Amino acid sequence: MENEGQLRSPGSGFGPNSPFVPRHRSSGQSRSQASSAVHSPLETTTSIAPFADSVRPPVLGQIGSARDVFGDVVEHPSQTDEDSEADSEETATTATRVSRATNLPRRFSLRIPTIPVLWKNILKCSVAYFLASLFTFQPYLSQYFGDLVSYGSGAGGPAPSAHMIATIAVYYNPAKTIGGMIEADSFCSIAWLYSAFVCLSGMSLFWWLDVRPGFALVADFVPILWVGLSMWGLSWMKVWMSKPTFNSACNMAATVLFIVIVKEGGWETLLQVSSVVLVGTIISNVVCFLMWPQSATYNLQVNMTKTLDSFSTLLGMLTNTFLLEEPIRKPSHEKMQKAVENHQSSFTSLKKNLAEARSEWFNIPGERDSILSKQAYRDAVSSLTRLAQHLSGLRGGTRLQYELTKAQSEGKLVLRRSSANKGHGEDGYSSPGAKGKTLYGVASQTEDLEEALLQAAADMFGDLMDDVGPPLKALSNTCTSCLKRLREAFVISQGSQKEQMMEPQDFHKIIDGIERALFTFESTSNHAVLRLYRRSNFSAGSSRRSMNSSVEDNPALADSEHEHIFLVYFFIFTLQEFAGELMSLTDAMRRIYAVELTRFSSQNWLRRYVLNATYFGAHRHPKVSFPKVQPHAPNTIQTPDRSNLTFIGRVKRSVWDLGDQLRGRNIKYAFKVGMSTAMLAAPAFFDETRPIFTEYRGEWALVSFFAVMSPTIGATNFLGLHRVLGTLFGAIVAAGIYTLFPENGVVLSIFGFFFSLPCFYYICAKPDYATTGRFVLLTYNLTCLYAFNLRENDISVLDIAFHRSTAVIVGVVWALLVSRFWWPAEARRELSKALGEFCLNIGWLYTRLVASNSGMVDYMDDIDHGGQNGSRVPDEGTPLLSKSASLSAKLSTSIQEFMAMELHLQIKLIELQDLLAQTQHEPRLKGPFPVLLYRSVLTSLQTILDKLHSMRCVTTREEWYEATPCARTVRRDFILPVNKERREMVGNIILYFSTLASAFRLKAPLPPYLPPAEKARERLVDAIRKLDVVKHRDVNASRQLLFFAYALTMQGVTQELDYLGRMLQDAFGVIGQSAEEFEALFMDDRRDDGSAV
């Protein structure tokens, strides 16, 4: 049994040595070029810029911007099969150590060092491996097991297959949580039933045909066909489930199938192999449950603690970036890197931990704490996921700050940080005596429109921050303190020092503090935005007089100056959404805290430890309503509706549908694996080739082939190379140690224990190289332990090592050939297809966003749904939020679907990064694959997704609801009068997404003329400017400017689309010669003649 595994790319991650380079975008330069001259405010602060990618697109006229290091999307290696234990390394955090330390007396905690969870897992794995190897090296256990599998006392001797017990211990290693091990056991049972059914039915048919005259040749083909069909089904289930613990079960089932069918065995052979698997899994389970047991629920709690810590770090960093001020205490490079990694991993890790914790469910009727905690944990995980999305959205609100910092680096502006000036308060802003003075000065007299626009934006932002800065800083500090307090509460809830315990009113105070800070910030920001917007000329502010020569004569500039306020509008609204969601998280954490205190205060061992994870039951997730991307769209002329067909037509259509399903990627991959496995196993069933097959242990080649075969060529190449290198190294070590100490069970068992330590270190701590560590240890098993079992037969260990290496190399070479020449699935082609599908899906998300603007989506839930609970007696399960607050914080079904779609796209982006990592392992004759180009594409798509999330936060606020007066005003005054221009912009953007999707899927030349999305947006903005309500600044509330802000901020999306369009034109070519030559065809000759004169 081997590991199939998904590819992990070594060296991926963030840091100064990251392969991502900044990309400078300017009007005369390609945006794909690297530029290191410009750094974002975040880079100035921390030397790394995790969220500056959202501030890249040009904002002010033709001003360029840059993409810095953290803007590029990193290669996130996917999780290797059977490597769910790798995540347990992350539990060795401060929260873990603190919570454990509080349970020890002070005198012992000072003497006994704390063992990190990673080393505990490594020791657990090595102990399990050592115990499993004793069934080979310990005479009594070896003899006992040999008698057991041979059905007679003293007749069996050492079992030749006893080394497989150690092999099972490698795969089912105990470095899992209790929930993960229970899940693995359940999958193992299902896989054993599948393999038993296939083996018994297949061999029964073989023996039935073999004894019939004239059917001997047919009987030889039966096991071959049976192997192919069974591997087809097993491979399909493997890729369909895509779960590490299930992959372990699939590999175990494949091992049982290969051994039993190749040996042409029946019940006896099946039971012998099953007993080996049973003993190996029992050893792993015993070590997992008794030696430093880890609860999946506890890991979930630690992961939530890390997520809260990273959120507080990133929120403070983003706030400082937005306010253009230096933090008082800069976070360390390592802390910032961990915060960014935890933020991105939170989209998948929380879901994984929640699923594992659900496997630990031992629900006992009447356990009220369990019922309360189920909903509390689900609510907390959902809130954390939404907070992660809001943090991604906050990145889109710092573009203006980036442009101002960039202008300072170019000498256009001098940004005088408020914290360095006299007369500034503690918040870093002007004191009341300094109010009215701008925070920024002009380095030189601006002479062009660009610099005038920059100065206007700087002055506007300075005036706005005079009003909004202190309450914004206060809200951010309150949210950051809340996140840290919740983190501490989680740690304290698992301790035993009662004087540190939080009281229920502490959670009330947290929520009240957020509500007060949020109310102050909302009222202040609304008045400040409205006041700035109502300024119709530059005479209102003395700070504007210095620019009258370059600004007052330019009405467009005057309009733009006031509209820069909307560049920070979405940051303000997203921060408000973040604060509102944080109140919901606090409520959920309070309920978890109450149950945790009750559980840990109990002296009942079963209640405290076994019921630790009885929180989780199945629950429905919001449905992701993306249309399926496929050719032959239903209900068209090409593919008519089934109801319009005759009976014969429906039968034909059913056959066509079946064929269409069989052409799917997973089905083709599974069929390829199944049939190629049957071809590789064929020599075992013919008399001419069977001796060679058995001599070289051909089943090892079958297992290696099944382990290496992956859906893409890149992953197969990566695993194949590591498989061969690991096998050779393991065989050399095993042959060497056995030659030095032949038949010395004590030395070999002790050496095996210590030799397994570095192997399990790579398996547990280095997922990138987990397959190598596993292959080394497996080859050691199949050489050293197998030779020890066969020591009485005088078989040389060198012969075993040679046969093992030969079989593995044959299996790997066969896998490489099949992967390359039989329905080849190149990672780069799959990446292009997935990018095309992603563009269509994000276009669909934008369509839904437009529908919400148009009032076509109902976001209002029935507000009376919870009315029947009004007489409920308050307890720890009662929500803290008031009815109005909980109503505003509660997400309706439609908004939940929106967020589910956004989360689905975010996870798809991570999967695209995995595919991009695999492309580096695929040789390409026409040159290296343009990895940097596709990283830039993924970065732009991430930016677009962040922008759409910010817009969704605004357009799904209650101000857009048809039932509110503000919504009627927005729709009447802003939307309906410009429907024509709005239709043109929306149509161009959707057409752009469709064009990009087609380019990715076809890799064909693009048209020289791309959809004019940005020009359509500018026409929409111009149309809005001409409205009476805008001309006269006749707005009663700043929230009535939502649609205007939406239209202006769409510039970030359209410019990203233009960037992608130009990039793909450079990558795939243009119909004709070039876009410039196309534009030259339509130049005005008379204008040329006039310029020539």
Residue 978 lies in a domain: yes
pLDDT at 661: 78
Q: Is 29 helix (H, G, I), strand (E, B) or coil?
A: strand
Distance CA 690, CA 682 (A): 9
pLDDT at 182: 85
pLDDT digits (tens, 9 = 90+) for 223-239: 888 888 888 988 888 88
Residue at 248: amino acid letter? S
Domain range for 383: 296-359+362-613
Q: Region of 535 please: left (phi>0), alpha (psi -120 to 50) or beta.
A: beta
Q: Report, in this order, helix, strand and coil percent for the chain, each rounded to 5.
A: 70, 0, 30
Residues 213 and 330 occupy one common structural domain: no
Kindly state the DSSP code that residue 66 receives in the 8-state scheme.
E
Residue 388 lies in a domain: yes
Residue 643 lies in a domain: no
More confident residue, 916 or 1086: 916
Of the listed ranges 21-30, 795-804, 1051-1060, the least confidently predicted one is 21-30
Strand partners of residue 430: 424
pLDDT at 81: 40
Residue 840 lies in a domain: no
Contact 1061, 1016 (CB under 8 A): no
At 26, give phi and psi (nearest 5°). -140, 170
pLDDT at 414: 62
pLDDT at 415: 56
51-55, 795-799, 916-920: which has the highest mean pLDDT?
916-920
Q: What average pLDDT is seen over the chain? A: 70
pLDDT at 990: 92
Of the listed ranges 455-459, 519-523, 543-547, the least confidently predicted one is 543-547
Would you place residue 992 in the very low, low, confident or very high pLDDT band (cuts 50, 70, 90)? very high
At 1032, give phi and psi (nearest 5°). -90, 5
- Among 571, 588, 581, 580, smallest CA distance to 386 is for 581
pLDDT at 855: 63
Q: Is 1070 helix (H, G, I), strand (E, B) or coil?
A: strand
Residues 213 and 305 occupy one common structural domain: no
Residues 767 and 911 occupy one common structural domain: no
Is a pLDDT exceeding 60 seen at residue 852? yes
Is a pLDDT exceeding 50 seen at residue 691? yes
More confident residue, 591 or 8: 591
Is a pLDDT exceeding 70 seen at residue 554? no
Question: Which of 552, 578, 613 is a domain's end point?
Answer: 613
For residue 1082, count other CB atoms closer than 10 A to its CB.
7
Would you place residue 875 in the very low, low, confident or very high pLDDT band (cuts 50, 70, 90)? very low
Strand partners of residue 413: 442
169: tokens are: 């211990």
Q: Report DSSP letters for 743-766, one per residue.
A: T-HHHHHHHHHHHHHHHHHHHHH-
Residues 472 and 505 occupy one common structural domain: yes
- Among 643, 619, 698, smallest CA distance to 381 is for 619
Residues 728 and 793 occupy one common structural domain: yes
pLDDT at 140: 79
Contact 735, 783 (CB under 8 A): yes
| pTM of the predicted model over 0.85 | no
CA dihedral 320, 321, 324, 326 (to 10 degrees): 50
Is a pLDDT exceeding 70 seen at residue 677? yes
Residue 1033 lies in a domain: yes
Residue at 629: amino acid letter? V
pLDDT at 615: 34
Would you place residue 964 in the very low, low, confident or very high pLDDT band (cuts 50, 70, 90)? low
97-111, 669-683, 789-803, 1071-1085: which has the highest mean pLDDT?
669-683
Distance CA 551, CA 451 (A): 10
For residue 395, count other CB atoms closer than 10 A to its CB.
29
Would you place residue 358 in the very low, low, confident or very high pLDDT band (cuts 50, 70, 90)? low
Burial class (CB in 10 A: 0-12, 13-18, 19+), 896: middle
Q: Region of 1012 please: left (phi>0), alpha (psi -120 to 50) or beta.
A: beta
Of the listed ranges 50-59, 245-254, 634-643, the least confidently predicted one is 50-59
- Among 384, 105, 255, 165, smallest CA distance to 707 is for 255
Q: Is 60 helix (H, G, I), strand (E, B) or coil?
A: coil
Non-local (6+) Cβ contacts of 143 within 8 A are 154, 156, 157, 158
480: tokens are: 């950051």
More confident residue, 553 or 455: 455
Contact 455, 442 (CB under 8 A): yes
Integer-rounded Cα Rg, in Å, for the chain is 33
Is a pLDDT exceeding 70 seen at residue 775? yes
Distance CA 55, CA 71 (A): 9
Q: Region of 1062 please: left (phi>0), alpha (psi -120 to 50) or beta.
A: alpha
For residue 456, count other CB atoms closer than 10 A to its CB.
24
Residues for the chain: how many in total? 1093
Residue at 143: amino acid letter? Q
Contact 807, 704 (CB under 8 A): yes
Residues 480 and 423 occupy one common structural domain: yes
562: tokens are: 């006031």
Residue 868 lies in a domain: no
At 67, give phi and psi (nearest 5°). -110, 125
CA distances to 404, 695, 704, 795 from 700, in Å: 63, 11, 6, 18
pLDDT digits (tens, 9 = 90+) for 78-126: 343 444 444 444 433 433 443 444 444 444 444 556 788 888 889 999 9
pLDDT at 854: 72
pLDDT at 419: 40
pLDDT digits (tens, 9 = 90+) for 29-57: 443 333 333 333 333 333 333 333 333 33
Kindly state the DSSP code that residue 865 receives in the 8-state scheme.
T
984: tokens are: 């043109």
Residues 816 and 920 occupy one common structural domain: no
Residues 322 and 430 occupy one common structural domain: yes
Contact 757, 738 (CB under 8 A): no
Burial class (CB in 10 A: 0-12, 13-18, 19+), 591: buried
Question: Which of 770, 805, 821 is a domain's end point?
Answer: 821
Contact 20, 52 (CB under 8 A): no
Q: In percent, how much of the chain has pLDDT > 90?
A: 4
Is a pLDDT exceeding 70 seen at residue 778? yes
At 1041, give phi and psi (nearest 5°). -90, 10
Distance CA 557, CA 452 (A): 8
23: tokens are: 């990309």
Distance CA 893, CA 879 (A): 20
Distance CA 764, CA 770 (A): 7
Would you place residue 991 in the very low, low, confident or very high pLDDT band (cuts 50, 70, 90)? very high
pLDDT digits (tens, 9 = 90+) for 925-945: 888 888 889 999 998 898 888
485: tokens are: 């307090």
Question: Which of 576, 596, 613 is a domain's end point?
Answer: 613
Residues 309 and 256 occupy one common structural domain: no
Domain count, the chain: 3
Residue 5 lies in a domain: no
Token look-up 């934008």 returns: 846
- Among 893, 894, 872, 899, smallest CA distance to 883 is for 872
Residues 302 and 280 occupy one common structural domain: no
Contact 370, 630 (CB under 8 A): no
At 598, give phi and psi (nearest 5°). -65, -40
Contact 285, 131 (CB under 8 A): no
At 480, give phi and psi (nearest 5°). -65, -45
Non-local (6+) Cβ contacts of 804 within 8 A are 697, 700, 727, 731, 779, 782, 783
Contact 50, 14 (CB under 8 A): yes
Distance CA 151, CA 154 (A): 9
Residue 559 lies in a domain: yes
H or E element, residue 934: helix 931-955
Q: What is the mean pLDDT of residues 977-995?
A: 90
Distance CA 722, CA 358 (A): 34
CA 1058 to chain centroid, in Å, comes to 27
Would you place residue 424 in the very low, low, confident or very high pLDDT band (cuts 50, 70, 90)? very low
Would you place residue 372 in the very low, low, confident or very high pLDDT band (cuts 50, 70, 90)? low
Q: What is the mean pLDDT of residues 913-929?
A: 84
pLDDT digits (tens, 9 = 90+) for 165-179: 888 888 888 888 887
Q: Region of 295 please: left (phi>0), alpha (psi -120 to 50) or beta.
A: beta
More confident residue, 541 or 907: 907
pLDDT at 516: 84
Q: What is the mean pLDDT of residues 1040-1057?
A: 77
**CA 452, 455, 457, 463 torsion-angle sign:** negative
H or E element, residue 800: helix 797-821
Distance CA 1039, CA 517 (A): 19
Residues 1029 and 973 occupy one common structural domain: yes
Residues 689 and 727 occupy one common structural domain: yes
- Among 233, 247, 192, smallest CA distance to 674 is for 233
Q: What is the Cβ-side half-sphere exposure of residue 409, based on CA atoms within 13 angstroms?
A: 17
Non-local (6+) Cβ contacts of 367 within 8 A are 611, 614
